[in-house]
């Protein structure tokens, strides 16, 4: 294989990464760009997302396409592959452990329509590839002229990176000659089997790991936020409140009122950011270790019964940290399940604000034990809601996942890249929306609009066996899920006057009546205004029906 270092192109070049799922494309993207995620954008006319980033030290951009899937997502694959026609060069990414079979698949899918497109090949998993794989690299280059390199994409040195760049620069049209079969038998190195693949133990084990994956970081995050809240309030919020005491009433309400940009914005950041950060770390570790793919594959069967794939599980669980980040993550879902996944997130994934407010209210009311049945209800009713409003998957779409990642020690560099990507999304995409909603809520509260709306809906609350005094909390929770905290007045006198059943009904109803405006705004941006309105209406119907059943069941 040639290793001469060739000069980079003199004009800006777009290089598209194409490969099957779980072949290491994200690691190659990081190696070339030095970042975990580039600028993400939806493909015109679809919900398929690509990301773009500049190659360090070269006049070239990398365009990372979604992993090519088989018959379960043929439409998404075709849309993504159409983007290849816009690129100047292609970089096929295959696993060094499965080179021959994956190159055959890519050649069948890509070669006919992109025969004149310059192609280079990078094989990943160098540390696990057999001697036959290294011989095959040389055979391909010799027989076709297509440049090939093999790397360990998780640990790319400067020399490896230059070899990778050199391979890209030497890209040649793919059909000058067909890619030959390997001369030596290519024994594919399969990931090791584990207890996750056992029929009797796989699902329970996956559920246990999944629970720990999210329960532990949530517990640590809330312990940290609870520990820091009082001293940080004394250090920052209290002095600000004193300084702003002489300001006009409007600006005090805007900045430091119940929905003030500073007061509520800071509270939201304090309670949400640790959850997003620690869950991001937990998920990154699971992904790098190979646990995430084992869990999603094990739970794929049960999830298909409600119209979801196993791969949809991670965005749903990420929603327990932040619904906004979770909706963004659904860009990686199949086209046939993305809307169902968003529906489940909107209804059943209690975001960090919702969890914090619910925990606080249950504790103040004297019934902290209600938190467990509350979360169970969210998940069960959310699953039923998703299945009712979304069509069942066809037999082809419902084909069980079969991918299994290698179980391996995590690359801490890769983990840090993934965590930085999550933090970047939260700070640059979620927080600005939160601040905007705080400002809107503060204005509506200041002019009395929210109070008038609450008065208007008070009679309807009698149907749910709730007193009219809880109306502001229900209304405010539509704007923000932590809006329920406005009921924590008079040292919790109102909440303590309710029965345990009424408190459960109140919190469940307020948190499911609709997604908060932040989440709906994000859904509108991702999937359009019509879908956002549709999902809000369907969720309201499910919430009202299930709350009525709960209220009357408890009353009996």
For 47, half-sphere exposure in the C-beta direction (CA atoms, 13 angstrom radius) is: 23
Residue 39: what pLDDT? 47
Residue boundaries of the structural domains of the chain: 13-173, 202-396+405-555
CB 556 within 8 A of CB 368: no
Q: What pLDDT sits at residue 509?
A: 94
Residue entry with tokens 């809307």:
339
Q: What is the DSSP string of 124-157?
A: E-GGG--HHHHHHHHHHHHHH---EEE--TTS--
Distances (CA, A) of 240 to 62, 263, 415, 426, 445: 46, 9, 37, 25, 21
Give per-10-residue mean pLDDT for the chain (556 aa): 46 79 82 64 48 78 74 55 76 87 80 73 86 86 87 82 87 70 73 79 87 81 83 87 87 83 78 80 83 82 81 80 81 78 90 76 85 87 89 55 67 78 77 77 82 82 88 81 71 84 93 88 89 94 95 81
Cβ pair 266, 236 in contact under 8 A: yes
CA distance from start to end of the chain: 78
Map tokens 């609009």 to a residue: 449
Q: 342 is written with which tokens? A: 């968003």
d(Cα 92, Cα 234) in Å, to the nearest integer?
Answer: 56
Mapped onto helix, strand or coil, the DSSP state of residue 54 is strand
The whole-model pTM stands at 0.69
The token duo for 291 is: 């646990």
Q: Which residues, at least 6 apart from 318, have a Cβ–Cβ distance to it below 8 Å?
A: 279, 283, 325, 326, 329, 349
Looking at 195-299, list the stretches that DSSP marks H as alpha helix, in order from N- to C-terminal side.
202-232, 238-243, 249-256, 263-289, 291-298
Please give the DSSP secondary-structure letter assigned to residue 68: B
Q: How many of the other CB atoms lie within 10 Å of CB of 85? A: 10
Contacts of 127 (CB under 8 A, 6+ apart): 152
Q: What gap in Å lies between CA 95 and CA 104, rounded to an integer?
A: 12
Beta-carbon neighbour count of residue 544 at 10 Å? 16
Q: Which CATH class is domain 13-173?
A: alpha beta
Q: Could you tell me the maximum CA-CA distance found in the chain, to the nearest angstrom?
A: 83
CB atoms closer than 10 angstroms to residue 6: 12
Q: Tell me, what's the pLDDT at 9?
A: 53
């Amino acid at each position: 294989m040639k290793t001469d270092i060739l000069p980079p192109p003199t004009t800006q070049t777009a290089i598209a990464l194409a490969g099957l799922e779980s072949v290491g494309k994200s690691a190659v993207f990081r190696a070339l760009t030095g970042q975990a995620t580039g600028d993400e954008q939806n493909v015109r006319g679809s919900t398929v997302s690509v990301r773009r980033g500049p190659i360090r030290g070269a006049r070239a951009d990398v365009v990372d396409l979604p992993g090519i899937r088989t018959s379960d997502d043929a439409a998404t694959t075709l849309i993504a592959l159409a983007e290849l026609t816009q690129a100047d060069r292609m970089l096929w990414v295959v696993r060094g452990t499965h080179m021959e079979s994956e190159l055959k698949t890519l050649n069948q899918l890509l070669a006919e329509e992109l025969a004149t497109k310059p192609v280079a090949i990078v094989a990943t998993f160098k540390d696990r590839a057999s001697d036959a794989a290294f011989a095959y690299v040389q055979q391909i280059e010799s027989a076709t002229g297509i440049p090939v390199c093999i790397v360990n994409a998780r640990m790319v040195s400067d020399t490896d990176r230059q070899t990778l760049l050199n391979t890209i620069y030497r890209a040649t049209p793919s059909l000058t000659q067909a890619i030959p079969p390997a001369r030596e038998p290519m024994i594919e190195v399969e990931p090791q089997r584990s207890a996750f693949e056992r029929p009797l133990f796989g699902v329970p084990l996956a559920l246990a790991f999944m629970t720990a994956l999210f329960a532990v970081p949530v517990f640590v995050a809330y312990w940290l936020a609870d520990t820091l809240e009082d001293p940080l309030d004394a250090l920052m919020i209290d002095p600000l409140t004193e300084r702003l005491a002489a300001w006009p009433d409007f600006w005090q309400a805007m900045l430091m009122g119940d929905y003030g940009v500073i007061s509520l914005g800071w509270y939201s950041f304090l309670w949400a950011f640790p959850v997003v950060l620690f869950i991001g770390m937990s998920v990154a570790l699971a992904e790098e270790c190979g646990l995430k793919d084992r869990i999603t594959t094990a739970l794929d069967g049960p999830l298909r019964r409600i119209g979801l794939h196993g791969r949809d599980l991670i965005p749903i669980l990420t929603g327990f940290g932040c619904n906004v980040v979770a909706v963004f993550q659904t860009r990686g879902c199949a086209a046939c399940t993305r809307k169902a996944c968003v529906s489940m997130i909107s209804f059943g994934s209690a975001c960090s604000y919702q969890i914090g407010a619910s925990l606080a209210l249950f504790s103040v009311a004297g019934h902290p034990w209600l938190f467990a049945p509350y979360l169970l209800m969210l998940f069960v009713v959310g699953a039923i809601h998703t299945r009712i409003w979304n069509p069942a998957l066809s037999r082809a779409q419902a084909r069980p996942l079969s991918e299994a990642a290698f179980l391996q020690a995590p690359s801490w560099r890769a983990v840090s890249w993934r965590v930085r990507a999550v933090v970047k999304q939260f700070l640059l995409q979620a927080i600005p929306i939160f601040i905007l909603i705080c400002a809107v809520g503060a204005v509506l509260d200041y002019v009395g609009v929210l109070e008038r709306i609450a008065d208007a809906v008070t009679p309807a609350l009698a149907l749910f066996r709730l007193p009219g005094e809880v109306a502001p909390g229900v209304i405010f929770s539509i704007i923000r899920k932590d809006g329920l905290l406005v009921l924590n007045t008079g040292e919790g006198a109102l909440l303590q006057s309710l029965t345990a059943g009424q408190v459960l009904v109140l919190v469940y109803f307020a948190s499911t009546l609709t997604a908060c405006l932040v989440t709906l705004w994000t859904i509108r941006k991702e999937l359009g205004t019509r879908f956002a309105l549709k999902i809000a209406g369907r969720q309201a119907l499910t919430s009202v029906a299930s709350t009525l059943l709960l209220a009357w069941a408890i009353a009996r």
